[in-house]
Amino acid sequence: MNSTVYTLQNDHWQAGILPGTGASIAFGRVQKDGQWVDVLRPTPESDYGNSSNCSSFIMLPWCNRIKGGLLRFEGQEYQLRTTKDDGTARHGDVRGRAWTIMHSSPTQIEMILQSADFADMNWPFAFSASAGYMLDGNDFIWTVTLKNEDSRPMPTGFGHHPYFVRHGGVQVQIPCQEYFELADFMATDAPVPLTSDLDFREWRALDNRELNDLMTSRMGAIPAGIHYPVQEIELMMHSSTAFKHILIFAPESKPFFAVEPMTNASDGFNLYAKGIPDSGVFVLQPGEAKTASVRLTIH
């Protein structure tokens, strides 16, 4: 795998992009008092070829898990390859693929991927995708487009899996009013109102909490937020309305956590097949495409 890193930089951001590793992010740093400070979990150079250890990776053509790897759509069943540890199809199948660079500059890079170029693509429908990263002043902008290249309608979804540095005192804000109750990290039914323990609608310290929870029912255009009081750095995550869900993952005793904007819920394809609302799965007709973006803004 080609683990060459392309560095984007302006006066506010420095970001490393890995086209050969699923168009993943290697690092994301902000300028503070004349020095670069990591806000995204930095990737060791020895792991530039491993998307799981990157700062962020793209999940496409589905987010999170599909139970048993069994995709059901329009009366058909498709068996996907599953992971050995939990027997699910997880996090899509583009993060380990090499993307082709279409354009790059000191502050921008655009990449594309065609599923037809990979005989072992773990998805029964043909698709193409493009991914772009751009620095624009205080903003670090991520854009993904997914297009149905098949002759059949295609159920699908996508998202981002960014890991952030977890310092003492870090605070999080997630503007969602409901959450999914999960079994083995997968949604089993429609969302329900937040419990007080999971209510991050106002700024709340992460402390040493262990979390793996899927929020939904976003509050309009209010962004998610991450605040580092010691470093006096605040990041606001503005995301397209297509990202209906935000998953917060904070493993115990680890120096990182994730805030993941996703279109479909964890195991959302089974929710969709059962007619359960708010799965977030969308269906693209042949030739149809969907674009969504995330904008990280420094305050």
Annotate 22-58 with b (16+ C-beta within 10 A) or e (fewer). bbbbbbbbbeeeeeeeebbbbbeeeebbbbebbbbbb
**Residues 47, 216: Cα–Cα separation, whole Å:** 32
Residue 183, C-beta contacts closer than 8 angstroms, at least 6 positions apart? none
Q: Is 206 left (phi over 0), alpha (psi -120 to 50) or beta?
A: alpha
Q: What angle do CA 56, 51, 95 make, to 5 degrees?
A: 90
The confidence score (pLDDT) of residue 1 equals 67
Q: Write down the residue that tokens 């027997």 correspond to.
A: 87
Assigned token pair, 120: 């072992």
Tell me which amino acid residue 79 is. Q
Find out whether 238 and 207 touch, Cβ atoms under 8 Å.
no
Q: What kind and span of H or E run contains 38?
A: strand 35-38
Question: What 3-state DSSP class applies to 116?
Answer: helix
**131: region left, alpha or beta (phi > 0 left; psi from -120 to 50 alpha):** beta
Residue-level pLDDT at 81: 98
**From CA 180, how far away is CA 248, in angstroms rounded?**
12
Q: How far apart are CA 170 and CA 155, in angstroms?
A: 37
Q: Distance between alpha carbon 209 and the CA centroid of its chain, in Å? A: 21
Residues composing the chain: 299
* CA nearest neighbour of 147 among 182, 171, 116, 187: 116
The amino acid at residue 69 is G
Q: Which residue has the tokens 């606001």?
A: 236
Return the closest-CA partner of residue 17 out of 36, 35, 40.
Answer: 40
What CATH topology corresponds to 6-298? Beta-galactosidase; Chain A, domain 5 (2.70.98)
Which residue in the block uniquely carries the two structure tokens 């740093």?
A: 29
Task: Name the residue ranges covered by the structural domains of the chain.
Answer: 6-298
**Is the peptide bond prior to 61 cis by the omega test (within 30 degrees of 0)?**
yes
Of the candidates 97, 15, 5, the one whose C-alpha atom is nearest the C-alpha of residue 51 is 97
Please, what's the b/e burial string for 59-83 (b: 16 or more CB within 10 A of its CB; e: otherwise)?
bbbbbbbbbebbbebeeeeeebebe
For 37, the enclosing helix (H) or strand (E) is: strand 35-38
- pLDDT digits (tens), the chain, 299 positions: 688 999 999 999 999 999 999 999 999 999 999 999 999 999 999 999 999 999 999 999 999 999 999 999 999 999 999 999 999 999 999 999 999 999 999 999 999 999 999 999 999 999 999 999 999 999 999 999 999 999 999 999 999 999 999 998 999 999 999 999 999 999 999 999 999 999 999 999 999 999 999 999 999 999 999 999 999 999 999 999 999 999 999 999 899 999 999 999 999 999 999 999 999 999 999 999 999 999 999 99
